[in-house]
Amino acid sequence: MQSITVTAPGRINLIGEHTDYNNGFVLPAAIQMAATATITKRADDEIHLTANDLNDSLIIDSIANLRINEKQWANYIIGVIVQFVKKRKFPTGFDIRISSNVPIGAGLSSSAAIECAIAFGLNELFEFGIDKMELALIAQKAEHDFAGVQCGIMDQFASMFGRKNKVMLLDCQNREYRYFPFERGDYQIVLLDTGIKHSLAISEYNVRKAACEKGIELIQEKYPAIESLRNVTIAILNECVDDHLEEYNKCKYVIEEIERTQAATADLESNNLIAFGQKMFATHAGLSKLYEVSCPELDFLVSAVEGNENVIGARMMGGGFGGCTINLVKSDAVNEFIEQLTVHYHTHTGKQLTPYIVSIEEGAHIL
């Protein structure tokens, strides 16, 4: 039977955190860690799913019998298939074998990698002709409906559209995007995984989203034309939300982060990684103090590298409450950096630190 093997990567986000669902800007990049799917047409109407890494499988007896399953890993796949069924008719069933080396819970969008691999692979195998942006939206909707996370488009966009050695400035309001070269020069991108899985991330993510929406409601009492924080200034925030501290702090962070992200692209164009790195530190301060999605372990790692002459930027990355910090580290100091932080982190927390050196690679493609 006809078969195809595709891969879709996880992602890092250099700057622009928690701005995507506020119609702001993000600056992600695809990485070398990825999900790989082999999809094979069947002669019948069944769907057979296999998770190689988990040594687990699931048989769905008919394409017409798709629903949320107790096997959480399967829902990322089923959710994508359901979105396709709404748009196209599958002529046959199919087998899917999925594997991934994107760490789970590290903030590298392991779920988006799986969703995008499935979406990209089904589109190619069945020649549906759906463009990449629509595939990213299909993957995002699967995350909403089957994983219960009301995420923005960034993760799936980065997995679909990544280019080697380039970051992408995505305007989440109109989905326009531009590529910028990431000339890292003498620096490496090093992720430090706290080992803390963000168990609070789903519920607290939705709480933060609701706080931003409440802020907009308060602003609309005076400025009804404003639809998102993308169009809010600090002056407007002060005028309309000053008496609501929770919403004020969350909105203030987002407004400042949208400005930072746009300014950061100018740093890349002038190849000023020092200035870019300083914005990363500022982002972490906002995420920790205003948006309150950090945790003691993440704060410790960022504080530990501030003032280190070999580190020009660091912040927590991803949804929060665990996962990784992302660091820009001088290449010849990376080994020492990792060794020192591993010891300090274990001494301070009793936990094991897991480092990842990442490279910026291509988005979803056929293998």
The first and second tokens of residue 346, run together, are: 């274990």
What is the C-alpha separation between 138 and 364, in angstroms, rounded? 14
Do residues 90 and 84 lie in contact, with contact meaning Cβ atoms separated by under 8 Å? yes
Q: Which residue, among 247, 189, 205, has the nearest Cα to 13 in the 3D structure? A: 189
The first and second tokens of residue 107, run together, are: 């903030």
What is the C-alpha separation between 79 and 149, in angstroms, rounded? 12
Task: Tell me which amino acid residue 128 is.
Answer: F
What is the C-alpha separation between 312 and 335, in angstroms, rounded? 16
Do residues 332 and 287 lie in contact, with contact meaning Cβ atoms separated by under 8 Å? no
152 CB-near residues (< 8 Å, 6+ apart)? 19, 20, 21, 26, 140, 172
Do residues 138 and 112 lie in contact, with contact meaning Cβ atoms separated by under 8 Å? no
What is the C-alpha separation between 206 and 209, in angstroms, rounded? 5
Strands, sheet with 324-330, edge to edge from the N-terminal-most edge strand = 311-317, 324-330, 187-193, 354-358
Do residues 64 and 104 lie in contact, with contact meaning Cβ atoms separated by under 8 Å? no
SS3 193: strand
Which of 95, 155, 193, 267 is catalytic? The answer is 155
155 classed as catalytic: yes
Angle at 275 between CA 272 and CA 277, to 5 degrees: 105
Widest CA span of the chain, in angstroms?
64
What residues are labeled active site? 155
